[in-house]
């Protein structure tokens, strides 16, 4: 089939068709991005927290702007080369364009990676702490130790296991000599985990049959195994999924007493059975004896029984209700439905429960099965379980004695006897690269307090914080530097008629200690300089330092201990997150806008790549058609550039 | 529109120049945001900085549109499409304005069910 107007223009529009098409598409794109920019404005105006203005590293954004502008120029040159029938030149310019797209995406990836790996904490007093979470490992004596990197934590865990097992082997030898069983309790090194996880020592864990998450169940099993413990059912459990197993047939109903007898028989049979495992009885019913170890397969099997039982119960109720409504409509035909409704209710005592005649014989069994939806396992002996922060359903408080996960798993610390709350001391440990008091200051002002006073009474400077003195020292230098800055602004811009300075330090200057500040103050301390001393300002990192943010692996930072350590007690943390959309609406809109833009870059590069690598044939047969195609692809590419021209200042500079 | 090879050859110089101007404007935007003595308005980021940043961005976008996307000499059909698109885009931005006149007044009663105007509520009782 001949496609019309690929090269020649249509008379009514004066354009070849694809051009109208791409512009229609671009018009819709304008609306798409317009809506998202509108969302940005909305979120920023109505933010109830200090908006993180100028929070992103400028350099990657700046380079990306140059890259995209450059690629816009080369794509026009590629098109122009085709128009002049210079194939080789077209190839070169197109290749540069696609190379630019690749560079853009690489920089974007670096930027994203820095965000996803960067820990943020909001404390209950609205102090915001940013940094790099440490790694932790549980040692054989039950203690938790923190390390800067995963590698260090892993090594320490392995070394500890080695030492512990050597001791165990020695004990084993002694035991055998004295005629003991000689069973050694070998300790396996646990996986290192991020020090923002929660440690909980449960006595029992309840799993939801329906919602339990396979990988979480397996992770808990693995941890239990590594700590020489096990998860087993505490009591015999009977699960019924079929009504006949539960209450017999119509002609031969089974009372609850008979059912109890039958269950006792099954338990007795099991006691003498050779193979100790759960077993099926009846149509779709399951017996899980006490002491059965946890496995996801067991939960799955139980789920099938539960689902079958639930379906039966629902069907039964619906059928009874349908009959009831039929009779009500017959008896009260003139009433409105809301007057009929009270008569059409299910009375569980007469409609569902088992019926017994005057002599005590069961005349009809229960019409519905009793449902069990969670399986409870005992942890024997109780050992700490590492709960990842993303698993937790709601903040875990010590006094509750339990931790609930998002898949409805519940870790319980028993009945509170012995005072165990289950929650182990699991502080969030990190190397701090920024402290932000802006939100705290905002809250203080709202309450009519003096921000500075509230800030200086915060937890981070208190004696409760074992690193408190370090932060006090940094804060002292910071305050002095800001005072110097204020003085310099007055010197330069003067005061107005009312005697107020024309320019003052911003909230960000005052209340946010950035990673540049940390580095600056650490250098100054090393050189024994204080704010106001000559040479102090020269030590400040330049804006191109730290490409995509603070670099914790930087040797200088390491040597100067520029990023101090901090352990935030679990109960002081009100929100913790990486710099992801969860952290705040700024990062939500940042990832939406840049992510969508990034997808446009990838899509555009694919189309341009097709022109570069698969269009030689078309060039030979109809070069003008290919030139038009490249023009269309180029128009899209320019649009992608155009969106970035707005994104860059809005997200990086404002 | 530059269509013949000779015209295109001439236009290439223009494209290069525009590219350079865009580079320069980018540097200016960053300088305005980072260099202290180029900081307009108050110290730090403020409305003036935002205005300047957005004006520069708009000029840059205009140049890309007019020259690279050939909008300086296009057919009428395309102008119609763009104008419709931009108008729709602006009205989407305008949607934010609705938030300023929220017809639902919440949080103005102690009981917390205050989306009803207190006066209306009084009349009802």
Minimum mean pLDDT range among A80-89, A110-119, A199-208, B81-90:
B81-90
Q: In the CATH hierarchy, which fold is given to the domain comprising A19-117+581-653?
A: 1.20.120
- Mutate which: B76, B91, B93, vs A, most A CBs within 10 A: B93
ipTM (interface predicted TM): 0.83
B19 touches chain A (CB under 8 A): yes
Where does residue A418 fall: left (phi above 0), alpha (psi -120 to 50 degrees), or beta otherwise?
left
Which H or E element spans position A434?
Answer: strand A428-436
Residues in chain A: 654
Residue A242: pLDDT band with limits 50, 70, 90:
very high
Q: What is the mean pLDDT of chain A?
A: 91
The residue behind tokens 């059928």 is A319
Residues 6+ away with beta carbon under 8 Å from A20: A13, B77, B78, B81
Would you state the structure tokens that stand for residue A68, as one six-digit string? Answer: 């995209």
Minimum mean pLDDT range among A236-250, A410-424, A445-459, A628-642:
A410-424
Distance from CA of B72 to the nearest CA of A (A): 14
Per residue in A174-215, pLDDT (tens digit) is 777 776 555 556 677 778 899 999 999 999 999 999 999 999
Chain B, nearest residue to A28 by Cα: B85
Residue A91: pLDDT band with limits 50, 70, 90:
very high
Distance from CA of A438 to the nearest CA of B (A): 15
* Kind of pairing between the strands at A237-239 and A285-288: antiparallel
- How far is the C-alpha of A630 from the C-alpha of A136, rounded, in Å? 54
- How far is the C-alpha of A77 from the C-alpha of A91, rounded, in Å? 10
- How far is the C-alpha of B82 from the C-alpha of A68, rounded, in Å? 22
CB A409 within 8 A of CB A376: no
Taking residues A497-518, what's their average pLDDT?
A: 92
- How far is the C-alpha of A480 from the C-alpha of A478, rounded, in Å? 5
Predicted local confidence at residue A124, as pLDDT: 92
Q: Report CB contact under 8 Å: B77, A53.
A: no
Predicted local confidence at residue B107, as pLDDT: 47
Predicted local confidence at residue A3, as pLDDT: 82
pLDDT beyond 60 at B112: no
Predicted local confidence at residue B109, as pLDDT: 42
CB A386 within 8 A of CB A199: yes
- How far is the C-alpha of A392 from the C-alpha of A196, rounded, in Å? 12
- How far is the C-alpha of A453 from the C-alpha of A460, rounded, in Å? 13
SS3 A562: coil
| SS (HEC) of A193-222 | EECCCEEECCCEEEEECCCCCHHHHHHHHH
B21 touches chain A (CB under 8 A): no
Residues 6+ away with beta carbon under 8 Å from A631: A19, A79
Which of A507, A128, A365 has the alpha carbon at shortest distance from B44?
Answer: A507
CB A467 within 8 A of CB A567: yes
Query: For residues A622-652, b (16+ Cβ closer than 10 Å) or e, as one string?
Result: ebebbbbbbbbbbbbbbbbbbbbbbbbbbbb
CB A51 within 8 A of CB A586: yes
Out of B19, B43, B86, whose CB is closest to A506?
Answer: B43
CB A44 within 8 A of CB A51: yes
A64 touches chain B (CB under 8 A): no
Q: CA neighbours within 13 Å on the CB side: how many for B29? A: 32
DSSP A387-401: E-GGGBSS---GGG-
Q: Report CB contact under 8 Å: B88, A37.
A: no
Q: CA neighbours within 13 Å on the CB side: how many for A516? A: 19
Looking at beta carbons, which residues of chain B come within 8 Å of A506? 42-45
Tell me the sheet residues that pair with A431: A132, A565
The residue behind tokens 């110089």 is B13
- How far is the C-alpha of A578 from the C-alpha of A202, rounded, in Å? 27
A257 touches chain B (CB under 8 A): no
pLDDT beyond 70 at A418: no
Q: Helix A58-83 to helix A87-116 angle, to the nearest 10 degrees? A: 160
Give residue limits of the domains in chain A: 19-117+581-653, 135-176, 198-419, 433-577
- How far is the C-alpha of A591 from the C-alpha of A112, rounded, in Å? 9
Looking at beta carbons, which residues of chain A come within 8 Å of B38? none
CB A285 within 8 A of CB A238: yes
Would you state the structure tokens that stand for residue A594, as one six-digit string? Answer: 């840049």
CB A652 within 8 A of CB A54: yes
Would you state the structure tokens that stand for residue A378, as one six-digit string? Answer: 């005992």
Strand segments (E) across A6-96: none
- How far is the C-alpha of A324 from the C-alpha of A332, rounded, in Å? 12
A490 touches chain B (CB under 8 A): no
In order of A20, A310, B46, B60, the CA distances from A6 in angstroms are 11, 62, 50, 31
Q: Report CB contact under 8 Å: A42, B54.
A: no
Predicted local confidence at residue A554, as pLDDT: 85
B52 touches chain A (CB under 8 A): no
Out of A28, A54, A72, whose CB is closest to B45?
Answer: A54
- How far is the C-alpha of B34 from the C-alpha of A652, rounded, in Å? 11
B62 touches chain A (CB under 8 A): no
Residues 6+ away with beta carbon under 8 Å from A526: A560
The fraction of chain A above a pLDDT of 70, given in percent, is 97
Which H or E element spans position A138?
Answer: strand A135-138
Predicted local confidence at residue A40, as pLDDT: 93
A 10 A CB-CB count for A142 gives 12
- How far is the C-alpha of A122 from the C-alpha of A301, rounded, in Å? 42
pLDDT beyond 80 at B110: no
Taking residues B98-103, what's their average pLDDT?
A: 62
pLDDT beyond 90 at A550: no
Taking residues A321-335, what's their average pLDDT?
A: 93
A 10 A CB-CB count for A174 gives 11
Per residue in A4-60, pLDDT (tens digit) is 888 888 888 888 999 999 999 999 999 899 889 989 988 998 899 999 988 899 999
CB A316 within 8 A of CB A366: no
A42 touches chain B (CB under 8 A): yes
Predicted local confidence at residue A184, as pLDDT: 56
DSSP state, residue A565: E
Q: Helix A58-83 to helix B5-34 angle, to the nearest 10 degrees? A: 170
- How far is the C-alpha of A182 from the C-alpha of A176, rounded, in Å? 5
SS3 A285: strand
Q: What is the radius of gyration, based on Cα positions, of chain B?
A: 25
DSSP state, residue B101: G
Would you state the structure tokens that stand for residue A227, as one six-digit string? Answer: 């700590």
Residue A88: pLDDT band with limits 50, 70, 90:
very high
Distance from CA of A588 to the nearest CA of B (A): 18
- How far is the C-alpha of A479 from the C-alpha of A489, rounded, in Å? 15
- How far is the C-alpha of A57 from the C-alpha of A59, rounded, in Å? 6
**What is the number of H-type helices and E-type strands within chain A?**
18, 21
Strand segments (E) across A279-418: 279-281, 285-288, 355-356, 362-364, 374-380, 385-387, 402-404, 410-412
Taking residues A276-296, what's their average pLDDT?
A: 87
The fraction of chain A above a pLDDT of 90, given in percent, is 64
A37 touches chain B (CB under 8 A): yes
pLDDT beyond 90 at A359: no
- How far is the C-alpha of A277 from the C-alpha of A262, rounded, in Å? 18
SS3 A284: coil
| SS (HEC) of A291-312 | CCECCHHHHHHHHHHHHHHHHH
């Amino acid at each position: 089939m001949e496609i019309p107007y690929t090269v020649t223009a249509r008379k009514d529009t004066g354009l070849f068709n694809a051009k109208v098409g791409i512009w229609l598409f671009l018009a819709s794109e304008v609306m798409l991005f317009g809506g998202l920019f509108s969302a940005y404005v909305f979120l920023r105006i109505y933010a109830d927290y200090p908006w993180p203005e100028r929070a992103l590293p400028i350099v990657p954004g700046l380079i990306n702007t140059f890259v995209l502008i450059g690629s816009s120029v080369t794509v026009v040159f590629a098109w122009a080369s085709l128009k002049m029938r210079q194939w080789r030149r077209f190839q070169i310019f197109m290749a540069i364009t696609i190379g630019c797209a690749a560079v853009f995406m690489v920089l974007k990836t670096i930027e994203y990676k820095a965000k996803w790996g960067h820990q943020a904490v909001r404390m209950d007093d609205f102090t915001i702490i940013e940094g790099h979470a440490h790694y932790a490992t549980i040692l054989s004596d039950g203690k938790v130790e923190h390390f800067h990197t995963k590698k260090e934590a892993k090594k320490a865990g392995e070394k500890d296991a080695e030492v512990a097992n050597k001791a165990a082997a020695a004990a084993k030898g002694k035991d055998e000599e004295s005629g003991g069983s000689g069973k050694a309790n070998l300790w396996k090194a646990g996986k290192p985990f991020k020090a923002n996880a929660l440690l909980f020592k449960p006595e029992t864990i309840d799993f939801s049959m329906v919602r339990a998450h396979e990988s979480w169940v397996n992770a808990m099993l693995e941890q239990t195994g590594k700590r020489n413990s096990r998860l087993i059912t505490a009591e015999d459990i009977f699960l019924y999924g079929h009504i006949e197993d539960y209450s017999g047939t119509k002609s031969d109903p089974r009372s609850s007493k008979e059912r109890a007898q039958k269950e006792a028989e099954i338990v007795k049979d099991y006691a003498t059975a050779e193979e100790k495992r759960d077993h099926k009885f009846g149509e779709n019913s399951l017996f899980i004896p006490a002491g059965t170890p946890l496995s996801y397969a067991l939960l799955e099997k139980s789920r099938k029984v539960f689902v079958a039982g639930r379906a039966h119960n629902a069907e039964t109720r619906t059928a009874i209700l349908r009959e009831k409504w039929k009779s009500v409509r017959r008896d009260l035909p003139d009433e409105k439905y809301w007057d009929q409704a009270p008569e059409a209710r299910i009375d569980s005592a007469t409609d569902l429960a088992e019926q017994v005649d005057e002599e005590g014989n069961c005349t009809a069994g229960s019409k519905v099965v009793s449902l069990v939806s969670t399986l409870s396992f005992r942890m024997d002996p109780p050992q700490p379980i590492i709960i990842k922060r993303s698993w937790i359903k709601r903040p875990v408080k010590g006094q509750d004695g339990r931790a609930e996960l998002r898949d409805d798993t519940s870790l319980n610390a028993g009945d509170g006897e012995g005072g165990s709350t289950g929650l182990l001391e699991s502080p969030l440990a990190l190397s701090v690269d920024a402290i932000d008091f802006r939100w705290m200051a905002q809250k203080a002002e709202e309450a009519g307090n003096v921000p500075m006073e509230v800030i200086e009474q915060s937890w981070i400077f208190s004696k409760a914080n074992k690193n408190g003195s370090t932060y006090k020292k940094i804060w002292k230098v910071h305050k002095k530097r800001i005072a110097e800055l204020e003085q310099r602004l007055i010197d330069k811009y003067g005061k107005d008629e009312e005697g107020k300075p024309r320019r003052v330090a911003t909230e960000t200057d005052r209340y946010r200690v950035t990673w540049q500040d940390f580095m600056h103050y650490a250098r100054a301390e090393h050189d024994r300089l204080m704010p106001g001393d000559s040479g102090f300002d020269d030590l400040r990192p330049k804006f191109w330092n730290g490409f995509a943010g603070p670099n914790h692996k930087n040797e200088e930072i390491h040597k100067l201990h520029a990023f101090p350590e901090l352990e935030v007690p679990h109960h002081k943390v009100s929100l913790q997150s990486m710099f992801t959309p969860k952290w705040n609406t700024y990062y939500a809109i940042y990832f939406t806008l840049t992510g969508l833009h990034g997808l446009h870059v990838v899509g555009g590069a694919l189309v341009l790549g097709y022109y570069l690598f698969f269009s030689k044939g078309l060039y030979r047969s109809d070069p003008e058609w290919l030139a038009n195609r490249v023009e269309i692809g180029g128009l899209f590419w320019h649009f992608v550039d155009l969106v970035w021209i707005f994104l860059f200042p809005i997200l990086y500079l404002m | 529109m530059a269509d013949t090879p000779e015209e295109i050859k001439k236009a290439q110089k223009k494209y290069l120049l525009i590219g350079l101007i865009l580079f320069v404007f980018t540097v200016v935007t960053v300088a305005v945001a980072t260099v202290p003595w180029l900081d307009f308005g108050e110290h730090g980021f403020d409305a003036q900085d935002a205005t300047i940043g957005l004006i520069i961005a708009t000029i840059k976008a205009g140049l890309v549109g007019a020259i690279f996307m050939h909008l300086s000499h296009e057919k009428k059909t395309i102008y119609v499409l763009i104008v419709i698109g931009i108008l729709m885009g602006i009205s989407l931005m305008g949607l934010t304005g609705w938030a300023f006149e929220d017809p639902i007044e919440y949080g103005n009663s102690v009981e917390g069910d205050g989306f009803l105007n207190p006066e209306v509520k009084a009349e009802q009782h």
